[in-house]
Amino acid sequence: MSNPGSTQGTTHHLPADATINRWDRSYPPALVIEPGDTVVFETPEITKGQLGPNSVSADLATLDFDPIHQISGPVAIAGAEPGDTLIVEIVEVVPKDWAWTGVIPGFGLLAEDDVFQEPYLHIWDLTNGHSAEFKPGIVVPFEPFCGVMGVAPDENGTLTTIPPRRNGGNLDTRQLIKGATAFFPVLATGALFACGDVHAAQGDGEVCGSGLECQATVTLRFNLMKNHEMPEFAFRMPGAMTASWNTAGWMVTTAHGPDLHKNSQQAIRYMINYLGRAHGLTPAEAYVLCSACVDLKISEIVDAPNWIVSAALPLGIFQPK
């Protein structure tokens, strides 16, 4: 099914140094394109070089969040005006050679747990182009996507990229893979789109606060729906909702209670304990692996006073012995 107004246009290459790390409708565009055009982005490492393939856990203790996220853009789409919807077709996302996932004290779903008050960094080798080994016998296949995609906000001033907002932003929606289409309300003239924070893989929830964080080459095609505004970010995706590569089944832990956030925390704690018992992982290793591939789900939210959250581990990451 084609998108409304979809056309084939010119392909542009955004310069690698065209980056921002805040949302601001006053930023001049690095590139102006027509509806139907395609843009190839070279998305940067999000910490502005604070982490690299030779980094160690102690480097997370001094991580400065101010430069995060380094993202590519902004790109203006000619004719885009408030009241329109920007259509972004995800043509391709190709990770580069390495990635990191880390436990950062005071950050993530289990930020207050005593066991996660020391930094832990895992560096992933992405050079085989399709999967990354976590430990011998545990391999996480790629499902790459942009963690950050969005447009300029409808308010004046500068906004951090850390939380998601109506303009999109730090979505961490792992279904935005090749073949998906994202829809954003246009909130400023030209839309002023930017993207980055690519994850080679991530579970739904990104529970430790990072996926497989990597540089990448991202190819996107842009179109407009004129005079039809989506109220917030929406997307359409191809194929299975979760881990389409996983054919080996799932191990699922659940937690109940009246608070979905607390239930999510408890379901992940149960999964961390399971990974320790069944696979010999340390708590920090298990937390990172959960962030890389475990999907949090709201399984039930109608039977007051308690709701159910599930944490689903794809068993396909475990290699036959």
Q: Which amino acid is at 46?
A: I
Structural domains present in the chain: 11-236 (2.60.120.580), 250-317 (3.10.28.20)
Q: Give the pLDDT of residue 5.
A: 46
CA dist 259 and 59 (Å) reads 34
pLDDT over 80 (residue 6): no
Q: Which of 182, 193, 151, 225 is nearest to 39 (CA)?
A: 193
pLDDT over 60 (residue 50): yes
Please count the other Cβ atoms lying within 10 Å of the Cβ belonging to residue 283: 18
- Indicate the average pLDDT of the chain: 95
pLDDT over 60 (residue 131): yes
Q: Which of 212, 204, 214 is nearest to 140 (CA)?
A: 212
Q: Which residue has the tokens 């002023």?
A: 192
For range 57-86, the mean pLDDT: 97
CA dist 203 and 259 (Å) reads 21
Q: Give the pLDDT of residue 54.
A: 97
Q: Give the pLDDT of residue 9.
A: 92
Asked if 193 contacts 70 with a C-beta cutoff of 8 angstroms, the reply is: no
What would the pLDDT profile of 134-163 be if each residue is shown by its tens digit?
Answer: 999 999 999 999 999 999 999 999 999 999
Q: How far lies 40's CA from each of 16, 31, 60, 72, 77, in Å?
A: 10, 11, 31, 10, 14
DSSP class per residue in 217-240: EEEEEEEEETT---SS-EEE--S-
For range 199-221, the mean pLDDT: 98
Share of residues in the chain with pLDDT > 70 (%): 98
The residues, ordered by sequence, that sit 6+ positions from 272 with a Cβ below 8 Å of its Cβ are 283, 286, 287, 290
The residues, ordered by sequence, that sit 6+ positions from 285 with a Cβ below 8 Å of its Cβ are 120, 122, 134, 135, 275
CA dist 25 and 210 (Å) reads 27
Q: Which residue has the tokens 């409708």?
A: 25
Q: For residue 7, name the pLDDT band (cuts at 50, 70, 90).
A: low
Terminal-to-terminal C-alpha distance of the chain: 43
Q: Give the pLDDT of residue 320.
A: 83
Bridge-based pairing of strands 307-314 and 250-257 is: antiparallel
What would the pLDDT profile of 235-278 be if each residue is shown by its tens digit?
Answer: 999 888 777 789 999 999 999 999 999 999 999 999 999 999 99
For range 77-96, the mean pLDDT: 98
Q: Give the pLDDT of residue 241.
A: 79
CA dist 117 and 120 (Å) reads 9
Q: Give the pLDDT of residue 1.
A: 34
Q: Give the pLDDT of residue 298.
A: 97
What would the pLDDT profile of 181-193 be if each residue is shown by its tens digit?
Answer: 999 999 999 999 9
For range 106-124, the mean pLDDT: 97
Specify burial of residue 54 (Cβ count, 10 A radius: 0-12, 13-18, 19+): exposed
Residues 182/184/186/192 CA torsion (nearest 10 deg): -60
Q: Give the pLDDT of residue 34.
A: 98
For range 37-63, the mean pLDDT: 97
